[in-house]
Amino acid sequence: MKISLKNQHTQNQREELDRIAVGVMIIRGLEPDFSSKVVEQLKEFTGPARDTDTLYRDLSDLLWCSIDNDDSRDLDQITVTEPMPDGGIKLYVAIADVDALVKIDSPVDDHAFINTRSVYTSARIFPMLPTKLSNDLTSLNPNEDRLAMVCEMHFSKHAEMLSSSIYMAKVRNQSQLSYDAVSAWLEDKGPIPDGVKRISGLESQLRAQDELAQKLRVLRHEKGSLEFDIFQPRASFVNDEIAEISQQAHNRARQLIEEFMIATNGCTSRFLAEAGIFSMRRVVRSPERWLRIVQVAADRGYKLPKEPDSQALEVFLAKEHRSDPVRFPDLSLVIVKLMGSGEYIVERPKGHAVGHFGLAVSDYMHSTAPNRRYPDLITLRLIKSVLFGQKPPYSTEELKALALHCTIQEDISKRVERQVRKSEAALLLSSRIGQYFDGIVSGANEKDTWVRIFNPPVEGKLVHSPKDLTVGHLVRVKLIYTHVERGFIDFVVTG
């Protein structure tokens, strides 16, 4: 039997995971820290960008608010709605005008280009932009005037989009809210958040946003948008020690923001197409391994059509979610892997749209998080070039190179995040060698079998596993080994 390798470092657990994250980033070619050139450039930023151009409208008096994670400080978007006389609703989504300060080929932009996105680990966030910008000067912080790109959308009372427009504006976030608190309140499971209660009219405003979002959600699923429940646990700390690892719930407030961002990304992609310029789209192609997905469904007694059909797949997934929620995260992962990962590509205006199979939309790009994702900053620059009547900032060939680079770097950064999650799980369990857990077989191939235990929600490898174990099999396991640095967790089946 293997024995546990105890952590010999003197750091606390947060420091240990931070060190591991930095090492993994460097090995994979990312830059965890900012260069001296970036530090020097930061001295030039003395305040947020101001609206010196008459193209910026003044929308600072609207009841804007942000909803994000409890610990988020890089606020990319804020939202507000207005009722229409015909019973419809007008939705405004404001996206931080990061380009107003972060210019192409500047040291800050060069760093953002290398990593292409913020890397999120439990111990430390490695921001794409320096925090002086992303958490302050380019963040849509509460009670601060900021410049933004606004997407204005008109919906019917049935949540069908009637029209949309995009323009630049000055905005002011009236209240910074968190997903969990807003969701608990909307679902009558918690009190009204203080940030809602203290702003007159914000309560009815948020309920209107929630109603619209839920209607949009229903429409998307009717068109075949897929609903997954991916296993993605997150560690929380108390005094720099891991207190627990828990699965992050996809709650009502997250759904609200997700629906509004999907709608906005569709509008920005159509805006650039109508302007007649090339753009960078975010696509998930029609699955090449569809017949394997058909077989997965058949193994569960469900028949899918022979040709890719997102509506039929969504019906199957919804049925499985209702009938077997315990095993659904593992089914979700299988389907996601068979569908293939998303990628960035360049599409010509009004050409054939590859679309996003998982969201069941033909027009889609990333545009709503320019503080956190480089593709969104690229899109922001393209849109501003149209609004200001300027030449596109990138040639078609440059866009193609950027699309490939962003696809590669995003995959690398997600691998870093997964590796650190494995290390934090091993660290939490390192003192529990010999203990028993209930779990479910979550994966199997010719060489290895994997198990996901329920409490804490952690995945590890089964050593000397019985040959008859298949995915979905409920098991009782014993923890026999952990390796924090490499993120290894080994179990043996006991029953």
* pLDDT for the residue 2: 35
* pLDDT for the residue 131: 97
- Same domain assignment for residues 68 and 160: yes
Section 7-19 average pLDDT: 77
How many alpha carbons fall within 13 Å on the CB side of residue 154? 8
Two tokens, residue 142? 């509460």
Asked if residue 228 is part of any domain, the answer here is no
- Same domain assignment for residues 91 and 169: yes
* pLDDT for the residue 284: 84
Q: Furthest-apart CA pair in the chain: how many Å? A: 72
| Closest by Cα among 182, 360, 156, 347 to 254 | 182
Tens-place pLDDT, residues 92-119: 999 999 999 999 999 999 999 999 999 9
- Same domain assignment for residues 64 and 176: yes
C-alpha of 349 from chain center: 27
**Interatomic CA distance for residues 176 and 43, integer angstroms:** 28
- Same domain assignment for residues 375 and 403: yes
Tens-place pLDDT, residues 129-152: 999 999 999 999 999 999 999 999
- Same domain assignment for residues 147 and 77: yes
**Interatomic CA distance for residues 371 and 278, integer angstroms:** 22
Considering its fold, how many domains does the chain have in total?
3
Asked if residue 316 is part of any domain, the answer here is yes
Angle at 434 between CA 431 and CA 438, to 5 degrees: 100
Type of residue numbered 117: R
Note the pTM of the prediction, 2 decimals.
Answer: 0.90
* pLDDT for the residue 444: 84
Out of 332-336, 376-380, 463-467, the most confident range is: 376-380
Q: Check pLDDT > 90 for residue 80.
A: yes
Is there a contact between 405 and 462 (Cβ–Cβ < 8 Å)?
A: no
Q: Check pLDDT > 80 for residue 232.
A: no
Tens-place pLDDT, residues 28-38: 999 999 999 99
Q: Check pLDDT > 60 for residue 3.
A: no
* pLDDT for the residue 6: 40
Q: In the chain, how many H helices and how many E strands?
A: 13, 18
**Interatomic CA distance for residues 429 and 479, integer angstroms:** 8
Is there a contact between 333 and 231 (Cβ–Cβ < 8 Å)?
A: yes
* pLDDT for the residue 421: 94
Residue 444 in 3-state DSSP? Answer: strand
Q: Check pLDDT > 50 for residue 1.
A: no
**Interatomic CA distance for residues 229 and 330, integer angstroms:** 8
Supply the range of the domain harboring residue 113: 47-220+253-277+364-417
- Same domain assignment for residues 208 and 131: yes
C-alpha of 64 from chain center: 22
- Same domain assignment for residues 373 and 487: no
Asked if residue 395 is part of any domain, the answer here is yes
- Whole-angstrom CA distances from 34 to 212, 374, 423 are 41, 16, 24
Out of 10-19, 140-149, 461-470, the most confident range is: 140-149
- Same domain assignment for residues 209 and 112: yes
Q: What is the pLDDT confidence band of residue 482, given thresholds at 50, 70 and 90? A: very high
Asked if residue 230 is part of any domain, the answer here is no
Two tokens, residue 227? 């609903």
- Same domain assignment for residues 439 and 298: no
Is there a contact between 89 and 207 (Cβ–Cβ < 8 Å)?
A: no
- Same domain assignment for residues 450 and 316: no
Section 205-234 average pLDDT: 87
- Same domain assignment for residues 449 and 388: no
Is there a contact between 26 and 42 (Cβ–Cβ < 8 Å)?
A: no
- Same domain assignment for residues 260 and 408: yes
**Interatomic CA distance for residues 243 and 484, integer angstroms:** 16
**Interatomic CA distance for residues 341 and 382, integer angstroms:** 25
* pLDDT for the residue 374: 98
Asked if residue 359 is part of any domain, the answer here is no
Asked if residue 98 is part of any domain, the answer here is yes
Q: What is the pLDDT confidence band of residue 4, given thresholds at 50, 70 and 90? A: very low
Name beta bridge partners: 172.
Answer: 145
The fraction of the chain above a pLDDT of 90, given in percent, is: 73
